[in-house]
């Protein structure tokens, strides 16, 4: 829309009595949400940036320490674990999740009970991660179901939860929980592709692969990009599944299974002997936020360029 039409439209809206009346309630209607959101969401966000440069226990006043917390983070093995695990979830899990979701979506489009299946595999997304962790833990425990099933075909018990595998077990579970959600998102995007594109392509004698390569894929770049942004924001929230799956007896999971959210919890009030290092935890959260912003910007760039390729 050009600035001229925008200006004209605004002029018209400003002139109408309806718009004038609506402007009168603009302030009062907006105020409660805006004030609450500003005071308890945006101010804390900004304060976290400040606190990341201080030594702070959450109760007394923070003391300025410059970049000390950030220097510490580079040497803190717990933070490195948390940060790289978050990246593992974001990229390792993410690529697998998206390929699987896209494949499921394409297959589902041509299956009979597509609505039913789509609704069904969405289920894990709306129940508590703690409950799913209880199930997952029981499934993989030493005398759990996976080993019972293996045993019945004569294969000895597998130690699924040995330390090197435990985080991988979490990655698989996260894929399981999220596939339905991303199938639904991708499906909504692909549903919007006008069917006559396919009809014309068919008349032109293309095969299924060509139609996928030259219609479905380029036309879905947009929704794939949005889904990837959602996934990026979603990964840094992953918390309770890992806590419930790997924590025990009031203790936190070992740091090699931490994620960004667990780091914040673990460095402050979490565990049997809390550390209350609010300053350092804020620095960790800030680094995570910057990583997220960076990934989102890169994703946006990448998907918006490729979309034009059609």
Partner 1 sequence: MSTATSGTRAATQDPPATPPPARRVPWARLPGTTLIWLFVAFCAFAFLFMLLSSLKSSFNVLNHPFRLPTELKFSNWSKAWHDGGFGPAFVNSVLVVAIAATGTVLIASPAAYVLGRNQGRVSGGVSLYFVLGLGIPMQIIVLPLYSIMAKLHLIDNLAGLIVLYIVVNLPFTVYLLMSFFATLPGELEEAAALDGVGPAMTFWRIMLPLAKGGLVTALILVAISCWNETFLALMFLQTNDNFTLPLALVNFLTQQQFTGEDFGVMFAGVSIAVLPMLALYAWLGRRITEGLTLGAGK
The residues in 39-98 that bind partner 1, with binding defined as CB under 8 A, are 40-45, 47-48, 51, 58-59
Tell me the closest approach of the beta carbon of residue 3 to partner 1, in angstroms: 12
What is the chain's Cα-based Rg? 25
Q: Does 270 bind partner 1 (CB under 8 A)?
A: yes
Out of 80, 96, 117, 255, the residue judged to bind partner 1 by CB under 8 A: 117
Output the CA angle 306-210-181, nearest 5 degrees: 60
* Closer residue to partner 1, CB minimum distance, 87 or 117: 117
- The mark string for 224-253 relative to partner 1 (x by CB under 8 A, - otherwise) is --xx--x--x--xx-xx--xx--xxxxx--
Q: Does 191 bind partner 1 (CB under 8 A)?
A: yes
Read off the tokens for 299: 């994703």
The 10 Å CB-count burial string (b at 16+, else e) for 3-17 is eeeeeeeeeeeeeee
Q: Does 299 bind partner 1 (CB under 8 A)?
A: no
* Closer residue to partner 1, CB minimum distance, 192 or 305: 192
Q: Which residue, among 242, 252, 217, 220, has the nearest Cα to 166 in the 3D structure?
A: 242
DSSP 88: I
Q: Does 26 bind partner 1 (CB under 8 A)?
A: yes
Out of 64, 84, 91, 120, the residue judged to bind partner 1 by CB under 8 A: 120
Return phi, psi of residue 254, to 5°.
-65, 155
Among the listed ranges 71-79, 141-149, 154-162, 299-307, the one in contact with partner 1 (CB under 8 A) is 141-149
Return phi, psi of residue 251, to 5°.
-85, 155
């Amino acid at each position: 829309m050009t600035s001229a039409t925008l200006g004209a439209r605004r002029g018209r809206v400003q002139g109408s009595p309806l718009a004038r009346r609506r402007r009168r309630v603009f302030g009062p209607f907006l105020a409660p949400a805006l004030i609450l959101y500003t005071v308890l969401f945006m101010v804390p966000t900004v304060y976290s940036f400040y606190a990341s440069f201080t030594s702070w226990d959450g109760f007394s006043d923070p003391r300025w320490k410059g970049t000390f917390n950030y220097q510490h983070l580079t040497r803190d093995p717990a933070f490195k674990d948390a940060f790289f695990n978050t990246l593992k979830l974001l990229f390792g899990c993410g690529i697998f999740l998206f390929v699987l979701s896209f494949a499921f979506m394409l297959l589902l489009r041509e299956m009979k009970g597509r609505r039913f299946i789509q609704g069904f595999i969405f289920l894990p997304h709306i129940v508590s991660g703690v409950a799913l962790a209880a199930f997952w833990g029981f499934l993989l425990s030493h005398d759990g179901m996976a080993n019972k099933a293996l045993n019945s075909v004569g294969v000895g018990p597998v130690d699924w939860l040995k330390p090197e595998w435990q985080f991988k077990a979490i990655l698989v579970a996260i894929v399981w929980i999220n596939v339905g959600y991303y199938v639904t998102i991708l499906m909504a995007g692909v549903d919007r592709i006008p069917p006559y594109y396919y009809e014309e392509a068919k008349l032109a004698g293309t095969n299924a692969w060509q139609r996928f390569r030259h219609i479905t894929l380029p036309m879905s770049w947009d929704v794939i990009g949005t889904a990837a942004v959602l996934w990026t924001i979603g990964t840094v929230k992953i918390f309770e599944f890992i806590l419930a799956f790997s924590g025990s007896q009031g203790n936190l999971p070992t740091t090699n299974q931490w994620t960004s959210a667990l780091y914040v919890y673990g460095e402050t009030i979490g565990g049997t002997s809390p550390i209350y290092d609010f300053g350092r935890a804020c620095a960790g959260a800030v680094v995570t936020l910057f990583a997220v912003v960076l990934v989102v910007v890169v994703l946006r760039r990448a998907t918006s360029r490729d979309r034009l390729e059609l």
